[in-house]
Structure 1
Amino acid sequence: MTLHAPRSFAAEYEPAVVGSRRRSPRAPVSLDARIGRGGLDRTLCKVVDLSMHGARLQTYSALKPGSTIWLTLPGHGQKVTRVVWADDFEAGCQFDEPLLEHVFEALTATA
């Protein structure tokens, strides 16, 4: 039986870059907004951070993850929005359609 010397090998690796899962940058804001499609079912909320793809809300009533809401942004109309997570009176939401860049810039400039 012949013993062979262990083969040496070299491997290059690229370290994993731990980055944000977000698709677009978010900005801290303080925007008064409304939840609901119209009429008496509209309730006030505050947008506390905003990205082109979603928002974090402070609400006066609990929202349910997975539900779809209408979020009215000041001066920019309603957005169909899905509640991704909710904790007491705070929720993270994702817009069905991202904000246009000029709308995002206008909302973050005034906040």
Structure 2
Amino acid sequence: MLAAEIEPADAPGRRRSARAAVALDARIDRGGMDRALCRVVDLSVHGARLETYSALRRGATIWLTLPQIGEIIADVAWATDFVAGCEFHAPLTQASFDALVDLDETLRLQ
């Protein structure tokens, strides 16, 4: 008989920082080559999960323009079809993170 411990993927302590489910429109710039709209659907101070209209490549550097925050540089950590996860070069401040979560809540109430 085999025994194994199974740990949930989102177990407490596995992530560097808290994440928030959001739905924020943003823009991606790939180093001046092209610009595309996207939606931020998951956010932390260290990165975000994006839904895109054009495929991103793992390892690519992007400039992500977030509402109220402006442009931040990020690397694509993973990508499948039109969903990608990116890691910010510099973490968001807690105040910026809170402002984006508050903006999402305000938009959902409208």
What's the TM-score bracket when you normalise by the shorter of the two chains? 0.7 to 0.9
The corresponding residue for 1:73 is 66
Gap runs ≥5 in structure 2: 1-6, 105-110
Take 1:38 and 1:74, find their aligned partners in 2: how far apart are those partners? Answer: 19
Amino acid at match of 2:39: K
Aligned equivalents of 1:44, 1:59: Cα separation in 2: 7
Q: Which residue matches 1:6?
A: none
Shift in CA distance, 19/91, structure 1 to aligned 2, threshold 3 Å: same
Match of 1:85 in 2: 78
The CA RMSD over aligned residues, in Å, is 1.9
Counterpart Cα distance in 1 of 2:76 and 2:31: 19
Runs of 5+ unmatched residues, structure 1: 1-16
Picking from 30, 33, 36, the partner of 2:26 is: 33
- TM-score, normalising length: structure 1: 0.79
CA distance change for structure 1 residues 25 and 74 in 2, over 3 Å: closer, same or farther? Answer: same
Q: Deviations over 1:22-69 (max 9, x none)?
A: 210100000000001687822100000100000000000000001100
Q: Using a 3 Å threshold, how does the CA distance of structure 1 residues 27 and 59 change in structure 2: closer, same or farther?
A: same
Matches within 5 A, 1:90-109: 90-109=83-102
Hey, what's the Cα distance between the residues in 2 that align with 1:103 and 1:22? 19
Count of residues paired in the alignment: 95
Cα deviation for residue 75 of structure 1 reads: 1.4
1:55-86 CA distances to partner (integer Å, 9 max, x unpaired)?
Answer: 00000000000110000001111110000000
Structure 1 residue ranges, 4+ long, deviating more than 2 angstroms after superposition: 17-21, 37-41
Contact (CA 8 Å) 2:42, 2:50: kept in 1 or not? yes
CA distance in 2, matches of 1:30, 1:98: 20
- Secondary structure of the 2:87 match is strand
